[in-house]
């Protein structure tokens, strides 16, 4: 029983919103109140339910129960168009700009100023004046006449924000706006958002970076497994407290016990001064040198977008390095293609399980055996033996106790955790010397996470070498023998197992500073 | 002789130019229209029928425009609403319309291949015959007909329409990034339907021009692949109106000089190949350049 | 797994029949408009296509080139390569076969046949290797390149049969007739059904086996479903593209050879009334599946062979067949998700 007065002063809010997708309760009884001229941070790990909440706030999803509050009263929004018309604008992680059109054209697209008179045409002078005025208001400079696709990333983001303001947005929802930005650009963005706040705009700031939240927000709401677990004014809390609530009130997961090593020892993978070519004046990778030994897990920590995924792709042979050298067990693989790398003993667990790690419409059997189709016993002479393929798939999956219906089912019928186990089963089946592992537990439930961590530990114990990239710092801390920190495409430091989150965090930032 | 070639080139360019301008707008909005040929043919047939029935080249042209636009719009629906693959649907449309035309010819007129009707009004000349006396350009000016003027007017107008009108900006955004257009509240599908109807209407006019210029009859081979040559033109002209028009003019010139080149020993079949070979060459050059830029 | 395969077969059967049924219904409406009884006409069509051994033979004869062009299309579509250049490869292969079969000495006898078939396959394979290589190496859009190559093939073959290869005796636009020894044997004289039909069925079967029982075939399917995955699994995407284009060209060329050596015995300007495009409709209808494509080819063969007779026995113009074919092509692709079709440029 909700009284209207309860929502007085709420510009945008949620009143006990719940939403389930099939058996998954994505949001449960979420309440939230964004006040005028306030920046309200929504934090939580990937999959905590933030995006479902945002979709409901914009009317893209209908809540199962509860209601969205706009200007103090419950509303039922029909979608982003109506949300925009009522002053709610969203800045997506993926920018909504047409790359071949100029920034100015993108700015006015959909609400073009027109000249008066019989030959009505777009009033470019008015458009540019609009853009300049709004850019000045938030203290940025934009060259409006470059194609959006070749403008720097932060300028694209500014353009999005300016476009929302121009269309009358007074409430901004920013979905992890710093994920794609370099640290100086983050500062610029924050300055801009503070100006907007001073001007009376209200903002929901979605993030999972605690320092950013404490630096920018007025209030914070922590969502965990679809529920609000903590809400406070920033002044009344601390980064540590927020962090505790993000990972849960229970103690953070203990480091995975790393068993004594057996089997191989010694260096297996050596990277020597790897660089990628310049793209928009930026090198994704700069002078990466590292040595990976048998029987160790090396974690690569860093803010997303600092070169980790590019390094994984370079190692997997999906992206070319401009200079530098890759050697596996002494053999030079710098110029080898993916097939040769796999044959030489390099396994790859892609961050994009759904579109690179797996072929969703193909069968479980084929997904499990892909890459082995030219090797005996699946191949015999020029032919492929389906019976051997099925047998091999069954053996690989049984080995890791992956649960599946039938080998002929599409792999999309498996749960996220079982899909990832299947990927592991495939990648370790050929006994590779090195596994390049990227975001291994993304979109995997808790049980699945535990299993995957155990599998990585087992592989290490048997003498395997793992290069682990994860956006979940605690995952890296729990699993790694040593931790390398990446910033701006370079390795900026190394820390031993047991290093604290603060030490790692400091290094991420420091590296970024001198980069 | 130069005067004659000029005059013939201009007249032969018009249908290609009309279809190319329509197809260019269509492609800028994200639809590659393989079915221009069908709409040219349909426009030609309708133009002959209406011209014979009414004695008015204007009504005939309008009817051709309307029929082309309707076919284009229906074609667009299969793509925008039916999620049909635009290439296969376009090829299917060409087969379907050719079949339908043959069907109508033999069912209604009891003929196959060619339709001759009485009193077909041809396109008039815009300028008085006296301009033919002007040196060099005279015969070309005398040959100008309303659809040719319209075609070149559209070339002149299109840069403005594409750059400075709401519709132009929105259709380019739709072609460049449909998801962005949708996110900004534009109805990408309706924009594409509109441009496909425009392409159809222009192609219908191209058909009217082919049928009503000098012969005044309809033939199943009348379009002679001009829909595809138009496609070649805007591919080669990279969807920009003036460069595309220049390519069309070149194709028209080739067409006009074909007989002369033939007597000079060049086989006509190989001359007919030139537009397609040019597109292939342009496509390869553009891709190689793109690849180099990406690698750099 | 058996019931899954059965369900999949049911689904592809539906995919085959629905566009055809919709096209027939629309054609039926056209027939009603012109005052004909559609049931009677369709009955006559069925009668004329399948009513006797002779008629069935004639239907299968018409279906023969489509078997080749359908497989040639399917092998590329399945790998996500949108090759619309089968028509051109059919022409090039046909001319190559015919050339071998009339230009080499007649004394070679029956060995002319394998020589001509190999020449046709090589010519077709090389013809489509080119756009395949351009696609793999420079990302040249295969749709436009193969479409343009169709016109170029028509122009070059047209030039050759009107010039250097023009028959001295037979009049315009055609080559000399091939040697008698190079004729593919007739299966059911006096019908024109010839051994090319059996080759076509064999190609269909080999294609089905290739898809399932060879690494390259399985890789082709994976590349079609998900290029990124294929690449991460060490499958050479560009190699696969070139392979399927060459195979497509070879099969289309073989189809041209079958048509030249079995049906026309020479090459002329009107060698193919668009078999490449009808083959595309067949491949789409049959969803790249051999059984579906055989059924589709026979249906289109029936339309083509019976259409001629229909015109004789009723007032219904032969063009009805084109109407049905065009409608089938359009309806076959509506609401149908082909792998990676469109518009990856923006992806």
Task: State pLDDT tens for residues C125-140.
Answer: 999 999 999 999 999 9
Which of C206, C212, C233, C240 to substitute to test the interface with A, most A CBs within 10 Å? C233
C335: distance to nearest CA of chain B, Å? 5
Tell which wins on pLDDT, C201 or A260: C201
* pLDDT single digits (tens) B206-256: 999 999 998 888 998 898 889 999 998 998 888 999 999 999 999 898 888
Q: Is the pLDDT of residue B50 over 80?
A: yes
Confidence of residue A510 (pLDDT cuts 50, 70, 90): low
CATH class of B2-115+136-295: mainly alpha
Confidence of residue C335 (pLDDT cuts 50, 70, 90): low
Check whether domain A268-513 has CATH 3.40.50.300, yes or no: yes
3-state secondary structure of A493: strand
B160: distance to nearest CA of chain A, Å? 9
Q: Is the pLDDT of residue B162 over 70?
A: yes
CA C343 to CA C340: how far, in whole Å? Answer: 8
Min mean pLDDT across B33-47, C78-92, C298-312 is at C298-312
Tell which wins on pLDDT, C268 or B202: B202
Beta-bridged to residue A495, according to DSSP, are A483
Q: Is the pLDDT of residue A150 over 70?
A: yes
Residue B4 is predicted with a pLDDT of 83
A110: distance to nearest CA of chain B, Å? 6
* pLDDT single digits (tens) B112-148: 888 999 888 999 998 888 888 888 788 888 889 999 9
Confidence of residue A5 (pLDDT cuts 50, 70, 90): low
CB contacts < 8 A (A, B): 56
B171 to chain A: closest CA residue: A109
The Cα-based distances of C242 to B38, C120, C129, C190, C256 in angstroms read: 32, 18, 6, 41, 21
Q: Is the pLDDT of residue A443 over 60?
A: yes
Mean confidence (pLDDT) of chain B: 90
Residue B295 is predicted with a pLDDT of 64
Residue A252 is predicted with a pLDDT of 44
A107 to chain B: closest CA residue: B184
CA A166 to CA A106: how far, in whole Å? Answer: 12
Q: Is A268-513 in the same CATH topology as A4-247?
A: yes
Confidence of residue A51 (pLDDT cuts 50, 70, 90): confident
Give the number of other Cβ atoms within 10 Å of residue C316's Cβ: 24
Question: By the 8 A CB rule, do A456 and A479 touch?
Answer: yes
CB contacts < 8 A (A, C): 76
Q: Which CATH number fits domain C65-338: 2.60.40, 1.20.1630, 1.10.1060, 1.10.3470?
A: 1.10.3470
Residue C339 is predicted with a pLDDT of 39
Calculate the CA A107 to chain-centre distance: 27
Mean pLDDT of A493-508: 79
Q: Is the pLDDT of residue C5 over 60?
A: no
Residue C342 is predicted with a pLDDT of 38
Confidence of residue C45 (pLDDT cuts 50, 70, 90): confident
Q: Is the pLDDT of residue A506 over 90?
A: no
Question: By the 8 A CB rule, do A329 and A417 touch?
Answer: no
The token pair at A93 is 């992680």
The token pair at A425 is 């089963």
Phi-psi map region of A220: left, alpha, beta (phi>0 left; psi -120 to 50 alpha): beta
Q: What CATH fold (topology level) applies to the domain A4-247?
A: Rossmann fold (3.40.50)
Residue A262 is predicted with a pLDDT of 57
Torsion sign (Cα): B19, B20, B22, B23: positive
Residue C27 is predicted with a pLDDT of 87
The token pair at B110 is 């009891």
Q: Is the pLDDT of residue B5 over 90?
A: no
CA C261 to CA C266: how far, in whole Å? Answer: 7
Min mean pLDDT across A400-409, A440-449, B10-19, C334-343 is at C334-343
Residue C94 is predicted with a pLDDT of 97
Q: Do A348 and C213 touch (CB under 8 A)?
A: no
Q: Among the residues of B129-238, which ranges form H helices?
A: 138-143, 146-164, 166-176, 178-183, 188-212, 226-236
Residue A222 neighbours by CB under 8 Å, 6+ apart: A43, A44, A228, A229, A230, A231, A242, A245, A246
Q: Which of C141, C152, C342 sits opposite B273 (nearest CB)?
A: C152
Q: Is the pLDDT of residue C65 over 80?
A: yes
* pLDDT single digits (tens) C147-171: 999 999 999 999 999 888 887 776 6
pTM for the whole thing? 0.85
ipTM confidence: 0.88
Q: Regarding beta strands A202-207 and A171-175, do their DSSP bridges make them parallel or antiparallel, or are they unpaired?
A: parallel
Give the number of other Cβ atoms within 10 Å of residue C214's Cβ: 18
Beta-bridged to residue A223, according to DSSP, are A228
Confidence of residue B296 (pLDDT cuts 50, 70, 90): low
Per residue, the 3-state secondary structure of chain C, as one string, reads CHHHHHHHHHHHHHHHHHHHHHHHHHHHHHHHHCCCCHHHHHHHHHHHHHCCHHHHHHHHHHHHHHHHHHHHHHHHHCCCCCCCCHHHHHHHHHHHHHHHHHHCCHHHHHHHHHHHHHHHHHHHHHHHHHHHHHHHHHCCCHHHHHHHHHHHHHHHHHHHHHCCCCCCCCCCCECCCCCHHHCCCECCCCCCCEHHHHHHHHHHHHHHHHHHHCHHHHHHHHHHHCHHHHHHCCCCHHHHHHHHHHHHHHHHHHHHHHHHHHHHCCCECCCCCCHHHHHHHHHHHCCCCHHHHHHHHHHHHHHHHHHHHHHHHCCCCCCHHHHHHHHHHHHHHCCCCCCCCCCHHHC
| Neighbouring subunits of C (3+ Cβ pairs under 8 A) | A, B
Domain edges within chain A: 4-247, 268-513
Question: By the 8 A CB rule, do B9 and B253 touch?
Answer: yes
Residue C238 is predicted with a pLDDT of 95
Residue C340 is predicted with a pLDDT of 38
Q: Do C30 and B103 touch (CB under 8 A)?
A: yes
C343: distance to nearest CA of chain A, Å? 15
Q: Which of C5, C215, C225 sits opposite A384 (nearest CB)?
A: C215
Mean pLDDT of B22-39: 95
Q: Is the pLDDT of residue C338 over 50?
A: no
Q: Is the pLDDT of residue C329 over 60?
A: yes
Burial of A118 (0-12, 13-18, 19+ CB in 10 A): exposed
Chain A residues in contact with C233 by the CB 8 A cut-off are: 338, 342, 370-371
Q: Do A386 and C226 touch (CB under 8 A)?
A: no
Q: Which of B172, B179, B185 sits opposite A110 (nearest CB)?
A: B185
Mean pLDDT of A283-297: 89
Confidence of residue B152 (pLDDT cuts 50, 70, 90): very high
Q: Which of A101, A108, A112 sits opposite B172 (nearest CB)?
A: A101
Which of B28, B159, B173, B293 to substitute to test the interface with A, most A CBs within 10 Å? B173
Residue A255 is predicted with a pLDDT of 58
* pLDDT single digits (tens) A34-47: 999 999 999 876 66
Residue A438 is predicted with a pLDDT of 92
E strand or H helix at A395, and its extent? Answer: helix A386-399
Mean pLDDT of A430-438: 93
* pLDDT single digits (tens) A182-214: 667 888 899 999 999 998 999 999 887 778 888
The token pair at C4 is 């899954």
Residue C345 is predicted with a pLDDT of 34
* pLDDT single digits (tens) C173-184: 888 889 999 899
Confidence of residue A224 (pLDDT cuts 50, 70, 90): confident
Q: Is the pLDDT of residue A427 over 90?
A: yes
* pLDDT single digits (tens) C241-255: 999 999 999 999 999
Q: Do A370 and C212 touch (CB under 8 A)?
A: no
Mean pLDDT of A314-329: 91
Residue A251 is predicted with a pLDDT of 43
Min mean pLDDT across A6-10, A67-71, B122-126, C87-91 is at A6-10
Residue C89 is predicted with a pLDDT of 98
Question: By the 8 A CB rule, do A454 and A478 touch?
Answer: no
State percent of chain B over pLDDT 70: 99
Q: Do A277 and B295 touch (CB under 8 A)?
A: yes
Residue B225 is predicted with a pLDDT of 87
Residue A256 is predicted with a pLDDT of 61
CA A397 to CA A115: how far, in whole Å? Answer: 67
Q: Is the pLDDT of residue A513 over 60?
A: no
Min mean pLDDT across A240-249, A481-490, B259-268, C56-65 is at A240-249
The Cα-based distances of B273 to B225, B277, C275 in angstroms read: 11, 6, 21
Q: Is the pLDDT of residue A138 over 90?
A: no
Residue C343 is predicted with a pLDDT of 37
Mean confidence (pLDDT) of chain A: 86
Q: Which of C1, C221, C235 sits opposite A408 (nearest CB)?
A: C1
Which of A88, A90, A110 to substitute to test the interface with B, most B CBs within 10 Å? A110
Q: Do B270 and C338 touch (CB under 8 A)?
A: no
At A183, give phi and psi (nearest 5°).
-50, -45
With vertex at residue A305, the alpha carbon angle to CA A302 and CA A310, rounded to the nearest 5 degrees, is 100
Which of A313, A314, A384 to substitute to test the interface with C, most C CBs within 10 Å? A384
């Amino acid at each position: 029983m909700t009284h209207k007065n309860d929502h007085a002063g709420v510009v945008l809010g949620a009143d006990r919103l719940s939403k389930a997708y099939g058996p998954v309760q994505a949001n449960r009884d979420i309440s939230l109140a964004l006040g005028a001229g306030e920046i309200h941070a929504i934090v939580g790990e990937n999959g905590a339910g933030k995006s479902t909440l945002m979709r409901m706030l914009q009317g893209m999803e209908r809540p199962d129960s509860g209601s969205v509050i706009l200007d103090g009263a419950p509303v039922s929004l029909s979608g982003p168009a109506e949300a925009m018309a009522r002053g709610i604008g969203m800045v997506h992680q993926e920018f909504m700009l047409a790359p071949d059109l100029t920034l100015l054209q993108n700015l006015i697209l959909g609400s073009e100023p027109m000249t008066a008179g019989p030959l009505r045409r777009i009033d470019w002078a008015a458009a540019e004046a609009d853009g300049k005025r709004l850019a000045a208001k938030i203290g940025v400079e934009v060259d409006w006449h470059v194609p959006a696709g070749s403008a720097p990333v932060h300028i694209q983001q500014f353009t999005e924000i300016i476009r929302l303001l121009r269309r009358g947005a007074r409430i901004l929802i920013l979905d992890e706006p710093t994920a794609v930005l370099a640290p100086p650009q983050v500062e610029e963005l924050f300055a801009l958002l503070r100006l907007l706040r001073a001007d009376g705009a209200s903002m929901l700031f979605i993030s999972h970076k605690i320092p950013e939240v404490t630096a920018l927000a007025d209030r914070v709401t922590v969502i965990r497994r679809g529920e609000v677990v903590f809400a406070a004014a920033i002044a009344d809390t601390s980064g540590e407290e927020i962090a505790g609530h993000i990972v849960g009130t229970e103690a953070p997961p203990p480091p995975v016990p790393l068993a004594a090593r057996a089997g191989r020892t010694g260096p297996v993978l050596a990277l020597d001064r790897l660089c990628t070519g310049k793209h928009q004046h930026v090198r994704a990778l700069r002078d990466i040198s590292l040595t990976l030994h048998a029987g160790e897990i090396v974690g690569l920590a860093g803010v997303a977008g600092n070169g980790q995924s590019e390094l994984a792709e370079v190692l997997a042979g999906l992206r070319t390095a401009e200079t530098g050298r890759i050697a596996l067990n002494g053999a030079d693989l710098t110029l080898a293609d993916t097939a040769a790398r796999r044959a030489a003993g390099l396994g790859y667990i892609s961050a994009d399980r759904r579109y690179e790690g797996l072929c969703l419409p193909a069968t479980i059997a084929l997904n499990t055996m892909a890459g082995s189709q030219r090797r005996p016993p699946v191949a015999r002479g020029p032919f492929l033996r389906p019976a051997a393929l099925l047998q091999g798939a069954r053996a690989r999956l049984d080995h890791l106790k992956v649960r599946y219906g039938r080998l002929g089912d599409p792999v999309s019928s498996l749960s996220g955790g079982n899909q990832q186990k299947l990927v592991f089963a495939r990648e370790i089946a050929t006994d590779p010397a090195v596994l390049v592992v990227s975001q291994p537990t993304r979109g995997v439930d808790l049980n699945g996470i535990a299993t995957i961590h155990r599998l990585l530990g087992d592989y290490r114990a048997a003498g395997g070498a793992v290069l682990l990239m994860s956006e979940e710092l605690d995952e890296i801390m729990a699993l790694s023998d040593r931790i390398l920190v990446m910033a701006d495409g370079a390795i900026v430091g190394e820390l031993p197992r047991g290093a604290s989150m603060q030490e790692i965090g400091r290094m991420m930032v420091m590296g970024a500073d001198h980069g | 002789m130069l005067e004659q070639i000029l005059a013939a080139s201009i007249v032969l360019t018009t249908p290609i130019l009309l279809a190319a301008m329509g197809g260019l707008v269509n492609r800028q909005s994200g639809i590659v229209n393989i079915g221009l040929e069908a709409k040219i043919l349909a426009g030609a047939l309708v133009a002959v029928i209406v011209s014979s029935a009414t004695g008015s080249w204007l009504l005939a042209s309008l009817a051709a425009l309307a029929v082309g636009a309707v076919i284009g719009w229906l074609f667009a629906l299969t793509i925008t609403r039916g999620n049909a693959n635009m290439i296969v649907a376009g090829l299917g449309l060409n087969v379907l319309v050719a079949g339908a035309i043959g069907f109508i010819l033999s069912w209604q007129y009891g003929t196959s291949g060619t339709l001759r009707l009485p009193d077909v009004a041809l396109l008039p000349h815009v300028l008085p015959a006296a301009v033919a006396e002007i040196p060099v350009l005279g015969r070309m000016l005398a040959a100008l007909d309303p659809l040719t003027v319209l075609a070149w007017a559209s070339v002149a107008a299109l840069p403005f329409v594409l750059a400075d009108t709401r519709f132009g900006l929105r259709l380019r955004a739709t072609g460049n990034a449909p998801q962005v257009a949708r996110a900004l509240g534009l109805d990408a599908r309706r924009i594409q339907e509109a441009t496909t109807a425009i392409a159809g209407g222009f192609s219908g006019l191209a058909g009217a021009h082919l049928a009503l210029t000098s012969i005044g009859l309809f033939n199943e081979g009348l379009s002679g692949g001009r829909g595809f040559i138009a496609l070649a033109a805007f591919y080669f002209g990279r969807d920009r109106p003036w460069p595309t028009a220049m390519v069309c003019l070149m194709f028209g010139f080739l067409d006009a000089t074909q007989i002369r080149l033939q007597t000079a020993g060049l086989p006509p079949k190989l001359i007919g190949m030139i537009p397609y070979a040019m597109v292939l060459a342009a496509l390869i050059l553009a891709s190689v350049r793109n690849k180099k830029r990406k690698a750099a | 797994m058996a019931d899954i395969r059965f369900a999949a077969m049911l689904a592809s059967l539906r995919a085959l029949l629905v566009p055809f049924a919709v096209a027939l219904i629309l054609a039926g409406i056209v027939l009603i408009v012109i005052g004909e009884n559609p049931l009677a006409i369709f009955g006559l069509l069925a009668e004329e296509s399948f009513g006797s051994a002779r008629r069935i033979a004639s239907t299968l004869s018409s279906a023969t080139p489509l078997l080749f062009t359908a497989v040639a299309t399917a092998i590329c579509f399945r790998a996500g390569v949108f090759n619309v250049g089968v028509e051109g490869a059919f022409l090039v292969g046909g001319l190559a076969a015919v050339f071998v079969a009339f230009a080499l000495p007649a004394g070679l006898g029956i060995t002319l046949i394998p020589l001509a078939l190999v020449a046709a396959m090589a010519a077709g394979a090389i013809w489509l290797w080119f756009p395949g290589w351009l696609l793999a190496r420079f990302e040249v859009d295969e749709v436009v390149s193969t479409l343009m190559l169709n016109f170029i093939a028509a122009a070059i073959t047209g030039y050759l049969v009107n010039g250097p290869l023009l028959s001295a005796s037979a009049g315009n636009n055609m080559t000399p007739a091939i040697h008698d020894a190079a004729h593919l044997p007739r299966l059911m004289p006096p019908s024109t059904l010839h051994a090319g039909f059996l080759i076509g069925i064999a190609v269909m079967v080999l294609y089905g086996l290739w898809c399932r029982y060879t690494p390259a075939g399985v890789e082709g399917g994976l590349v079609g479903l998900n290029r990124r995955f294929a690449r991460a699994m060490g499958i050479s995407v560009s190699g696969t593209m070139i392979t399927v284009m060459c195979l497509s060209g070879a099969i289309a060329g073989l189809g041209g050879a079958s048509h030249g050596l079995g049906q026309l015995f020479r090459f002329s300007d009107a060698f193919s009334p668009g078999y490449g495009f009808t083959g595309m409709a067949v491949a789409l209808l049959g969803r790249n599946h051999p059984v579906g494509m055989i059924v589709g080819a026979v249906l289109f063969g029936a339309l083509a062979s019976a259409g001629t007779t229909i015109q004789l026995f009723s007032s219904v113009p032969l063009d009805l067949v084109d109407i049905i074919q065009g409608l089938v092509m359009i309806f076959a692709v509506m609401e149908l998700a082909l792998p990676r079709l469109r518009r990856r440029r923006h992806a």
